[in-house]
Amino acid sequence: MAVNVLFVDDEEYILKSLERACSDDDAIRPLMAGSAAMAMEILQKEEIAVIVSDHRMPSTTGTDLLRVARTISPDTVKILMTGYTDLPTVIEAINSCEVFRFIVKPWDNVGLLETIHEGINRYRMVQSLRRVDESVLRSLGQTIELKDRYTKGHCDRVASYALMIARSLKLPEDMVETIKHGSWLHDCGKIGIPESMLNFKGVLSPRDFEVIRKHPHWGAEVARKAELPKTVINIILHHHERFDGSGYPEGLAGEAIPLEARIVAVADTFDALTSNRPYHKAFNRPKALGILEQLKGCSLDPALVDLFLQRIDDGGDPE
C-alpha cells in the first residue's frame, strides 16, 4: 500500500523532478508543496510518512519547517534537502528537528528513492511497535535480519541466551519479558543502514563505520517514539557499550551500563562468534567460549560472562 511522502520546495521544476522520480514507485504517493505554509496545511490534513524539505526557501528554512512538523506530526520521518552542507546546519537539524537523513542537490534518483524507502520503513516500524504485540516485535526483529544475510535467526538466538542469563539472575518476570523484547529489537536501528554496508566483506571505511555506529541511536529513537519500556530502549541504545568504557554510542563503563544491556551484550557477542559473518567464519563452541573468557573486563561484564559460562558448562540450554 502506498504511503504519503510530502516534498517541499519553492522551485516548481524541482517539485516536478521529484514527482517524476517517484512516478514508477507504487509504494510512494507523492504530495507537493511549494511553500512551508502549504506544507503545514497538508501535514494537518494528511497522514504523512516522510517529509522531504528543501533547506533554503524564501519564507522560512527547512529546519524551521521540520521543527514545527515535529510538533504537528511527530512520527513523520524528516529528510532535509540542501544544495550545500555545512556543520552548523547539520547540528541544528539533528538537535532540533530529528532529521533522519540529508539529501544533497543535485540528487541521484536511485539514492533518493533508497533514502525515502528507509524513511518509510522507519515510519512503519514506529507504527508497528506501538502495538506492543509479541508476534509483531519478533517479526520486526526478523525483518531487520533480512537486510543482513549473515544474521538469519540472530534475534531469536540472542533472546534465548539473554533469557538464560536473566533467569539465572532471578530477575523479576516483567523485566525478563522486556529483556526478551529488547533482544529481538536490539539491532532495529539497522533498518536505516544500506545493505551494502551490512554485507560488506572486508574492513569498512571510517566513514561507513561511523554510519554503522549510529544504529543504536536510530533504533532507540524509534523505540522512544513508540513509547516502549525503558529496559527495551536501554538494550537498543547501549548493547555496543564496552565494560572498559571504549564502546559506543556514549562510552559508558562498568555498572554505568544498564544491566539489561550488559546481559544482551554477552548474548550478542556469543552469537556473533558462533555465526558466519562478513568479517569472520563461525568459531566452534569451545573456541567461542575461550574468546568470551578473554573479553571479560574489557568488552563484557566479567560476572555475567562467568554466569553464562557456568550455565553452558552445566548443560543449561537456552530456550
Average pLDDT, the chain: 86
Neighbours of 69 (CB within 10 A): 24
pLDDT at 250 exceeding the cut of 80: yes
pLDDT at 174 exceeding the cut of 80: yes
Q: Tell me how far apart the alpha carbons of residues 26 and 32 are, in angstroms, rounded to a whole number.
A: 17
Residues 36, 59 contacting (CB under 8 angstroms)? yes
Burial classification of residue 117, based on how many CB atoms lie within 10 Å of its CB (0-12 exposed, 13-18 middle, 19 or more buried): middle
Mean pLDDT in residue range 166-183: 95
Q: What DSSP state is assigned to residue 253?
A: -
Q: Which residue has the cell 502506498?
A: 2
Half-sphere exposure of 134 (CA within 13 A, CB side): 6
Dump the DSSP string for 141-178. HHHHHTT-GGGTTHHHHHHHHHHHHHHHTT--HHHHHH
Q: How many residues are present in the chain?
A: 319
pLDDT at 137 (0 to 100) = 80
C-alpha cell at 98: 530529528
Half-sphere exposure of 289 (CA within 13 A, CB side): 11
Q: Which of 149, 125, 122 is nearest to 137 (CA)?
A: 125
Which of the residues 78, 147, 180, 190 is marked catalytic?
Answer: 190
pLDDT at 59 (0 to 100) = 79
More confident residue, 224 or 241: 241
Q: Which fold has domain 3-126?
A: Rossmann fold (3.40.50)
pLDDT at 276 (0 to 100) = 72
Is residue 99 classed as helix, strand or coil in its secondary structure?
strand
pLDDT at 149 exceeding the cut of 60: no
Q: Convert the pLDDT of each residue in 33-54 to its tens digit.
A: 999 999 999 999 999 999 999 9
- Computed on alpha carbons and rounded to an integer, the radius of gyration of the chain in Å comes to 21
Confidence bin at 160 (pLDDT 50/70/90): very high
pLDDT at 90 (0 to 100) = 58
The domains of the chain are located at: 3-126, 134-313
Question: What residues form DSSP beta bridges with 226?
Answer: none
Is 190 annotated as catalytic?
yes
Residues 30, 73 contacting (CB under 8 angstroms)? no
Question: Which runs of consecutive H residues, i.e. helices, occur in the chain?
Answer: 12-21, 36-45, 62-72, 87-97, 109-129, 134-145, 154-168, 173-185, 195-198, 206-212, 215-225, 230-238, 259-273, 285-294, 302-313
Half-sphere exposure of 42 (CA within 13 A, CB side): 21
More confident residue, 90 or 192: 192
Q: Tell me how far apart the alpha carbons of residues 22 and 10 are, in angstroms, rounded to a whole number.
A: 19
Supply φ then ψ for residue 70, to 5 degrees: -60, -35
C-alpha cell at 114: 533508497
pLDDT at 314 exceeding the cut of 90: no
C-alpha cell at 173: 518476570
Q: Tell me how far apart the alpha carbons of residues 81 and 246 are, in angstroms, rounded to a whole number.
A: 34
pLDDT at 200 (0 to 100) = 63
Residue range 134-313 forms a domain whose CATH class is mainly alpha
C-alpha cell at 203: 574492513
Q: Convert the pLDDT of each residue in 273-294 to its tens digit.
A: 998 765 668 889 899 999 999 9
Confidence bin at 201 (pLDDT 50/70/90): low
Is residue 207 classed as helix, strand or coil in its secondary structure?
helix
